[in-house]
Amino acid sequence: MTSAGPGRPRSQQPSRPGATARDEILDAAAELFTTQGFANTSTRSIADAVGIRQSSLYHHFKTKDDILEDLLEGTVLSGLTFARAVAALPLTEGPDAGRLHAVALYDGTQLCSARWNLGVLYHLPEARSARFARFLANRQELRNLYGDLGAALSLAGPAVELGANPGDLAFRLVESLINLRADGMATPSSPLQAADAGLILCGLGRELPAIREQSAALIKSFA
Give the start-to-end residue ranges of the domains of the chain.
Answer: 21-62, 65-221
CATH annotation of 65-221? 1.10.357
DSSP 122-190: GG-GGGGSGGGHHHHHHHHHHHHHHHHHHHT----SHHHHTT--HHHHHHHHHHHHHHHHHTT---TTH
Sequential pLDDT tens for the chain (223 residues): 334 444 444 445 556 666 688 999 999 999 999 999 999 999 999 999 999 999 999 999 999 999 999 999 999 999 999 999 999 987 655 457 899 999 999 999 999 999 999 999 999 999 999 999 999 999 999 999 999 898 887 654 555 554 568 889 999 999 999 999 999 999 999 999 999 998 988 888 888 999 999 999 999 998 7
Hey, do 21-62 and 65-221 end up sharing a CATH topology, with the first three levels equal?
no
Report whether 200 contacts 158 (CB < 8 A): no
CATH annotation of 21-62? 1.10.10.60
- Residue type for position 33: F
